[in-house]
Amino acid sequence: MNDVSEQDRHGALQSLLERRSVGTLEAPAPTDPEIDTIVDAGLRAPDHGRLRPWRFVLIRGEARSAFGACLVAAARKRDASSPQSLLDRYQAWAMRTPLLIAVGTKISARHFIPEVEQLLSAGAAAMNMLNAVHLLGYGGMWVTGPNSYDLDVNAALGFHAPDRLVGLLAIGTARAITKVERPDRAAHLSEWTPPIDADLQALRSA
């Protein structure tokens, strides 16, 4: 048993149960020591085979403008008829988000650990990081979509096939948090019941 008190554990759990995605963000972003903590949380993700597949890229400060331009160029290349309003949104989003962390996977190809498990490990890292962001008092959102899967955007951030992004974490101070209705647990949970003898015999003989 660790040194964390039961009260602290329940407090942290209650806080996690209040986590939600926040897209309306403003400065300040987490400090460097806080970013270290967020990344360390990502490094605690489950990792079958100890491949350590996680890769994180910080995008902040003036680099956000260049990254926004990268998103615009990629969108134009995907579709030359992309409306200017969409391109402007990409650029504005990159500039107004205090901190972006690109989360990706360094894929070990032809490894006995399936590629999907390596991707899932990076996804678990992203969720750990979002939980850390929340517990530190900031807001965050996991952003995917066409830009996250665009090969040019991936390459610009250092992810070359088979390596790939699993998404971008947008992080900052929540400007406003609205309550959202939580899913009904009963709609997502069931309890497995072993088949009765006749069904089990049928399965064995199938």
In tens, the pLDDT along 148-188 reads 999 999 999 999 999 999 999 999 999 877 778 889 999 99
Give the model confidence (pLDDT) of 70-111 as tens digits: 999 999 999 999 999 999 999 999 999 999 999 999 999 999
pTM of the predicted protein model:
0.90
Q: What is the pLDDT of residue 163?
A: 97
Q: What is the pLDDT of residue 103?
A: 98
pLDDT mean over 199-205: 71
pLDDT mean over 24-28: 96
The confidence band for 198, taking pLDDT boundaries of 50, 70 and 90, is low
User: What are the structural domains of the chain?
Assistant: 21-177 (3.40.109.10)
Q: Which residues of 149-180 are buried (b: 16+ CB within 10 A; e: fewer)?
A: ebeebbebbebeeebbbbbbbbbbbbeeeeee
Tokens of 60: 């902040």
Tell me if 129 sits within 8 A of 41, measured CB to CB.
Answer: yes
The alpha-helical segments, DSSP class H, found in the chain are 6-17, 32-42, 63-78, 84-96, 115-135, 146-149, 151-156, 197-205
Strand 54-60 to 99-105 pairing: antiparallel
What is the C-alpha to C-alpha distance for residues 44 and 24, in angstroms, rounded to an integer? 28
Residue written as token pair 């967020």: 38
Nearest to 99 by CA among 153, 166, 171: 171
Cβ neighbour number for residue 60 with a 10 Å cutoff: 16
CA distances from 185 to 54, 67, 124, 188 (A): 31, 39, 21, 5
Q: What is the pLDDT of residue 2?
A: 64
Exposed, middle or buried by CB within 10 Å (0-12, 13-18, 19+), for 136?
Answer: middle
What is the C-alpha to C-alpha distance for residues 160 and 137, in angstroms, rounded to an integer? 34
